[in-house]
Amino acid sequence: METAHKNILDLSYPQLKELVCSLSEPAYRADQILWWIYGKLATSFGEMTNLPQSLRQKLAEVASLTSLTPVDETISADGQTRKALFRLDDGKTIESSLMLYEKTGSSRERRTVCVSTQVGCNIGCSFCATGQQGFERNLRPGEIMEQVLYFMRLVSTEQLSGDAATDPARRPVTNVVFMGMGEPLANYEAVWQSIVTLNSKHGLGLGARQITVSTVGLVPQVRRLAGESVHVELAISLHAASDALRNKLVPVNKKYPLSQLIPACRDYFKKTGRRPTFEYALFQGVNDSVNHARELARLLEGMNCQVNLIAGNPTACQEFTPSPMKRVLAFQKILRDSGVSSTVRVSKGVDIEAGCGQLRSRWIANSSTP
Ligand code: SF4
């Protein structure tokens, strides 16, 4: 294996073993390195004190451990949502967020990181800040994993959560959602490698249920994901239950219409046992009427699934204003009366522009302001 300078986080487990072997070290050194990275949150090879000094030196010569630089951070007024903007090694920027959920009833306390998978996005959803920015490039696996590691370090050092602070066995991050900038399934290989690392005992050791991939519905990739070895949760950004409206809101629907997407979701459940979630952001006068709700109920009739209703995030676009809560609840009632399971989600971090791409949009605008 050629040992040109590389980011260790970009390597899969077999590739890391190959690297250490190429440095004339036994393969088990790879396990030790990963333990330092994901267990001890090390940021330099120098910290890896159970590796021989010569190996630490060699690693520092041929590889790096970081490629993201935090350049901006915002915290919501309630302290429950943090958003970070990172500069990549080529100067491009991405954003990620950490959302803290307190223990309620049957649900456990969660510390969820929402990661980006692309710089920009070429899907072009009409209501989305990232969609307006255009596509620049895919993220590498290491750039995805480093977003998670950043927040793990933050939780560990700042002790943001009582649970994480008092119980050393608890992970600083409990859930990872691929819901930030970009379409995860359009960057399939890097996203899949990240899922493997998140799930692996050599990585974070998160359960497959603690990992969610959110997609606009790239049908071939949804079917491919269903056949993989780690059965993650699947969320579909639906937002409309007719092709006519969805073609406008989520233009990829023209390529993969509902007649293809819905069967792929049914099959995902059959193959993985994971009940798909349909995300439906409600925008006033766009997709939030009684008829829209009935249409959605008909589309999902008899399907083992969950609908997440959320008042859409405010964007710069006047056409899309979030539906008032009264309307969201009326929409939910129609679904409930039709036997479709749904929850109303509170849009976290609206005061800090937590909708995907919003912080980056502002940062880009400010950077280009003389
Ligand atoms: S909503 Fe997601 S898929 Fe659509 S443009 Fe925004 S980032 Fe891309």
**Contact indicator for 356, 181 with CB cutoff of 8 Å:** yes
Last residue of a domain, one of 49, 64, 79: 64
Is-catalytic flag, 73? no
Residue 128 Cβ inside 6 Å of ligand 1? The answer reads: yes
Coil, helix or strand for 313? coil
| The predicted structure's pLDDT at residue 130 | 76
Position 187 in a domain: yes
Residue 279 Cβ inside 6 Å of ligand 1? The answer reads: no
Position 1 in a domain: no
Backbone angles phi, psi at 315, to 5 degrees: -120, 180
37 CA distance to ligand 1 middle (Å):
31
Last residue of a domain, one of 64, 85, 100: 64
| pTM of the entire predicted model | 0.91
Position 40 in a domain: yes
Domain that holds residue 352: 69-367
315 CA distance to ligand 1 middle (Å):
13
Distance (Å, rounded) from C-alpha 5 to C-alpha 322?
47
Residue nearest to atom 3 of ligand 1 (CA): 183
Residue 162 and residue 13 share a domain:
no
Beta bridge partners of 104: 107
Residue nearest to atom 5 of ligand 1 (CA): 131
Residue 218 Cβ inside 6 Å of ligand 1? The answer reads: no
User: Annotated catalytic residue: which of 25, 95, 143, 146?
Assistant: 95
Q: Rounded to a whole number, what is the distance in angstroms from the first to the last CA of the chain?
A: 47
Residue 178 and residue 274 share a domain:
yes
Residue 122 and residue 48 share a domain:
no
Domain of residue 48, CATH code = 1.10.150.530
Residue 130 Cβ inside 6 Å of ligand 1? The answer reads: yes
8 CA distance to ligand 1 middle (Å):
29
Position 283 in a domain: yes
Candidates 123, 126, 256, 283: which one to mutate for ligand 1, based on the most atoms within 8 Å of Cβ? 123
345 CA distance to ligand 1 middle (Å):
19
180 CA distance to ligand 1 middle (Å):
8
**Contact indicator for 126, 178 with CB cutoff of 8 Å:** no
**Contact indicator for 134, 362 with CB cutoff of 8 Å:** no
Q: Which of 85, 94, 73 is nearest to 139 (CA)?
A: 94
Tens place of pLDDT per residue across the chain (370 aa): 444 578 999 999 999 999 999 999 999 999 999 999 999 999 999 999 999 999 999 999 999 999 999 999 999 888 889 999 999 999 999 999 999 988 777 778 889 999 999 999 988 888 887 777 789 999 999 999 999 999 999 998 875 555 544 444 467 899 999 999 999 999 999 999 999 999 999 999 999 999 999 999 999 999 999 999 999 999 999 999 999 999 999 999 999 999 999 999 999 999 999 999 999 999 999 999 999 999 999 999 999 999 999 887 666 566 788 899 999 999 999 999 999 999 998 766 555 444 555 555 555 555 543 3
Token duo for residue 42: 């090390």
Position 124 in a domain: yes
Residue 50 CB burial class (10 angstroms; 0-12, 13-18, ≥19): exposed
Residue 318 and residue 208 share a domain:
yes
Residue 131 and residue 36 share a domain:
no
Atom of ligand 1 nearest to the CA of 215: 3
Last residue of a domain, one of 64, 82, 106: 64
Distance (Å, rounded) from C-alpha 359 to C-alpha 365?
10
Residue 101 and residue 51 share a domain:
no
Number of domains in the chain: 2
Residue 226 and residue 173 share a domain:
yes
CB count in 10 Å sphere of residue 329: 12
**Contact indicator for 287, 246 with CB cutoff of 8 Å:** no
Residue 49 and residue 79 share a domain:
no
Position 210 in a domain: yes
| The predicted structure's pLDDT at residue 8 | 96
Distance (Å, rounded) from C-alpha 76 to C-alpha 100?
11
Residue 320 and residue 174 share a domain:
yes
Residue 222 and residue 159 share a domain:
yes
Candidates 138, 216, 238, 320: which one to mutate for ligand 1, based on the most atoms within 8 Å of Cβ? 216
Residue 82 and residue 27 share a domain:
no
Domain of residue 85, CATH code = 3.20.20.70
179 CA distance to ligand 1 middle (Å):
9
Beta bridge partners of 309: 280, 344
Is-catalytic flag, 102? no
Token duo for residue 230: 């780690």
Token duo for residue 209: 């249920």
Residue 139 and residue 17 share a domain:
no
Q: Which amino acid, one-letter code, is at 221?
A: Q
Residue 182 Cβ inside 6 Å of ligand 1? The answer reads: yes
Position 343 in a domain: yes
- Could you tell me whether strands 135-138 and 211-215 are parallel, antiparallel, or unpaired per DSSP bridges? unpaired
Residue 163 Cβ inside 6 Å of ligand 1? The answer reads: no
